Chain A
């Protein structure tokens, strides 16, 4: 089976690990070989969290520079920071709602312009799908559902060897019961948004 490589980057607390978990469970449901690794970097203390997910017949659980097929950034400056994982064919999905690092919020560093971030990513990769996932999560009923919005967008690209039905089944069974409906709605909104991006 062909190998597909996905990198997800996020800031601690954005629910990246749950997103990876849902993707892993989806692969298990789909009988697609999957391996993933996580670097937490003291997630709960505001550090960066990175997951690498490898589908198909590979033994490795990590992804080298330039080898991601899909990069998903939960935060725009983190998407930019992870560009070293991409190549000219990589598809990039990025949330456009920034979470400023502390140095920026106290005026000791500057956050790059969102337009500049998007231009740079577009110029250096195959394709960029960028939108405000936070807004869609709020629309779905909970800002914490940013992760499921982005999972929906990932599903829409068709890059991952997984079906929408299985994604939904995994969300239904592997995320908290109380949030399942919100999560499914978030997934749909993310899916539709990526579709719009054409």
Chain B
């Protein structure tokens, strides 16, 4: 049995934040869950996916976040408890649904989880999704710890049902990827079947209906504010004339900081776990007890601006500090010492910074950036495109996935990356206004996610570029989740369709479509050359399974290669052009690590001396 289905209330378990969240949802009786994978949220959905295989919980990997939210919204409006989770930028994709779903509301409890990523450990930006609560008018809860993340989940579902609208649940990486000891609670029963009762004047968002629904949304916000005033997740701690108002993980650093500074009797803390709409009365009362207040929040000054507005309305003149050059930045994540220093600076408390040794005399330590795996098909495809485009002035718009790692030298195969699916769209613009050859790259999962629309645009508006679809049979970067093109039988799972990328591309009307096997180097280069010479939109579908995924499926058949020292003339084309991590130098000679070598044979095909040969069995 999955450990998160354990039915023994009171038992203590060491859980990853994302596991704790999944457990919290199960304790809340969630019956329906959908997602598009994205770090740092991925282990929540992975846990739910696993549990769905051994219970009546319904779980799906949807095509993208917008679809995932639509799917869950319908389930919740049929009265079933539904959850939809995504990384912060995923909510941008789903925002169109979110904004009007806020008008519609829901019947069964619905929680929409956004996993924000301050410092961008694995994201393209560090947007603060608390603004989505403000923008949509929906309630927002945000835990400070792993334990609280679990406790908050049933609360959020109950709150959603009480208010009749979805609740936003915001985490940050340091919640998702922290571990702590969690005490299991009771499991509520899952109600998996619902019913939808027609009521067009409540559910069909034409202007006349929406005008009424917006009124209701505002009324709901008033009710939600009352809930926030009495929420157990808006808590106060300590006594004194100095006040700290904080949220999320900043609370941990603030609480530790106040203790370390020995100022527990001087500082009171208001921690807002239910932070939209804000409990205005509670905040007013808190300010009334303080002479000076410091707002500690990672990201944007959301609380700070709101608290200042509340103080202004109440005619309170006390200083309220937050994001200023000498205190806190809007950039990156906070840490305990930074917050301790901020508290000391704000309130004039003596403070000694931690003594970090002088490291100026350290030698340069070679960097260790993540690289494409040995045997990664992307490296082979990049090589083929590079060779085929030799002598041409190129622009390579790319997309989000493992293949983005190819932007580093020596591959240098990404020039412009914004967001999921943007390679096809941006290729349209580049090809129109420049005279360069535009070759865009997109992964299979990303193509389904939102690349298709860009390609349709290209065909309709008759743009001129080549789109290379890197089809490695999985969503590799986030941990090998399925997507609509995946063969689910390989995972021993039945009851799934399978969409052919080639059929989709042809149906869109692309005239020049070629499927290549990137490990066949010569043939691939020829095929790419033809595609580049084609006037109009051409598509290359490069098919080869992700090597890491193949390993997990035990599908790996290749034999390792070695360098024949008698033949090798040490040109090092292999290393310089491919940068495969299986290569190393020994006494200035090229060697191949047989443990790492995948046997893709790409280097063997490009070695001008034919010096790379299979290891004999």
Taken together as a complex, chains A and B put the C-alpha atoms of A37 and B584 apart, in Å, by 33
Taken together as a complex, chains A and B put the C-alpha atoms of A90 and B367 apart, in Å, by 24
From B57-65, B356-364, B452-460, B517-525, give the one contacting chain A: B356-364
From B46-54, B161-169, B176-184, B272-280, give the one contacting chain A: B176-184
Residues of A near B405 (CB, < 8 A) are 42, 45
Is B252 close to A, CB under 8 A?
yes
Residues A65 and B356 in contact, CB atoms below 8 Å apart: yes
Within 8 A of A (CB), among B139-154: 144-146
Residues of A near B249 (CB, < 8 A) are 60-61
Residues A102 and B579 in contact, CB atoms below 8 Å apart: yes
Taken together as a complex, chains A and B put the C-alpha atoms of A21 and B19 apart, in Å, by 14
Residues A42 and B584 in contact, CB atoms below 8 Å apart: no
Residues A46 and B370 in contact, CB atoms below 8 Å apart: yes
**If the complex has contacts A84-B359, A105-B584, are A46 and B368 also in contact, measured as CB distance less than 8 A?**
yes
Residues of A near B179 (CB, < 8 A) are 20-21, 24, 35-38
Shortest C-beta distance, A14 to chain B (Å), equals: 12
Within 8 A of A (CB), among B311-344: 335-338
Taken together as a complex, chains A and B put the C-alpha atoms of A34 and B178 apart, in Å, by 11
Please, which residue of chain B has its CB at the minimum distance from the CB of A25? B14
Shortest C-beta distance, B297 to chain A (Å), equals: 16
Shortest C-beta distance, B393 to chain A (Å), equals: 27
Residues of B near A110 (CB, < 8 A) are 364, 366
Residues of B near A107 (CB, < 8 A) are 585, 588
In the complex, per-residue mask of A41-85: 1 if CB is within 8 Å of any chain B CB, else 0: 110111110000000001111111111000000000110110110
**If the complex has contacts A35-B180, A66-B356, A87-B354, are A60 and B579 also in contact, measured as CB distance less than 8 A?**
no
Shortest C-beta distance, A88 to chain B (Å), equals: 6
Residues B121 and A59 in contact, CB atoms below 8 Å apart: no
Residues of B near A127 (CB, < 8 A) are none
**If the complex has contacts A24-B14, A42-B370, A120-B362, are A106 and B337 also in contact, measured as CB distance less than 8 A?**
no
Residues A83 and B337 in contact, CB atoms below 8 Å apart: no
Is B365 close to A, CB under 8 A?
yes
Residues of A near B608 (CB, < 8 A) are none
Is A131 close to B, CB under 8 A?
no
Taken together as a complex, chains A and B put the C-alpha atoms of A24 and B354 apart, in Å, by 26
Is B581 close to A, CB under 8 A?
yes
Residues of A near B146 (CB, < 8 A) are 35, 61
Partner of A59, one of B251, B365, B369, B548: B251
Residues A64 and B367 in contact, CB atoms below 8 Å apart: no
Within 8 A of B (CB), among A20-37: 20-21, 24-25, 27-28, 33-37
Please, which residue of chain B has its CB at the minimum distance from the CB of A110? B366
Q: Which of A33, A64, A110 has the most CB of B within 10 A?
A: A64
Q: Which of B145, B178, B368 has the most CB of A within 10 A?
A: B368
Size bracket of the A interface = 35 or more
**If the complex has contacts A110-B366, A112-B365, are A61 and B354 also in contact, measured as CB distance less than 8 A?**
no
Taken together as a complex, chains A and B put the C-alpha atoms of A20 and B178 apart, in Å, by 11
Please, which residue of chain A has its CB at the minimum distance from the CB of B361? A120
Is B256 close to A, CB under 8 A?
yes
Shortest C-beta distance, B367 to chain A (Å), equals: 7
Partner of A111, one of B358, B366, B588: B366
Residues B368 and A116 in contact, CB atoms below 8 Å apart: no
Partner of B371, one of A20, A38, A45: A45
Taken together as a complex, chains A and B put the C-alpha atoms of A88 and B357 apart, in Å, by 7
Shortest C-beta distance, B172 to chain A (Å), equals: 11
Residues of B near A84 (CB, < 8 A) are 356, 359
In the complex, per-residue mask of B553-589: 1 if CB is within 8 Å of any chain A CB, else 0: 0000000000000000000100100010101110010
Residues B255 and A59 in contact, CB atoms below 8 Å apart: yes
Please, which residue of chain A has its CB at the minimum distance from the CB of B253? A60
Is B100 close to A, CB under 8 A?
no
Residues of B near A45 (CB, < 8 A) are 370-373, 402, 405
Residues of B near A109 (CB, < 8 A) are 364, 366-367
Taken together as a complex, chains A and B put the C-alpha atoms of A90 and B145 apart, in Å, by 27
Residues of B near A120 (CB, < 8 A) are 361-362
Residues of B near A101 (CB, < 8 A) are 366-368
Within 8 A of A (CB), among B359-397: 359, 361-373
Shortest C-beta distance, B547 to chain A (Å), equals: 11
Is A18 close to B, CB under 8 A?
no
**If the complex has contacts A20-B179, A58-B256, A87-B357, are A63 and B366 also in contact, measured as CB distance less than 8 A?**
no
Is B170 close to A, CB under 8 A?
no
Taken together as a complex, chains A and B put the C-alpha atoms of A45 and B588 apart, in Å, by 25
Residues of A near B370 (CB, < 8 A) are 12, 41-42, 45-47
Residues of A near B579 (CB, < 8 A) are 102, 106
Shortest C-beta distance, B222 to chain A (Å), equals: 33
Residues of B near A36 (CB, < 8 A) are 178-180
Partner of A60, one of B336, B362, B402: B336
Residues A100 and B371 in contact, CB atoms below 8 Å apart: no
- 11 residue pairs of the A-B complex, CB under 8 angstroms, read A39-B177, A45-B402, A59-B252, A61-B180, A65-B354, A77-B365, A86-B356, A87-B356, A101-B366, A104-B366, A106-B579
Q: Which 5 A-B pairs have the closest CB atoms?
A: A66-B354, A64-B337, A59-B252, A42-B370, A105-B584
Partner-A contacts on B (CB < 8 A): 12, 14, 121-122, 144-146, 174, 177-181, 249, 251-253, 255-256, 335-338, 353-359, 361-373, 402, 405, 477, 548, 572, 575, 579, 581, 583-585, 588
Given contacts A11-B368, A38-B179, A105-B583, 12 further A-B contacts (CB under 8 A): A46-B581, A47-B370, A60-B252, A62-B336, A64-B338, A81-B365, A86-B356, A87-B356, A88-B355, A106-B584, A112-B363, A124-B358
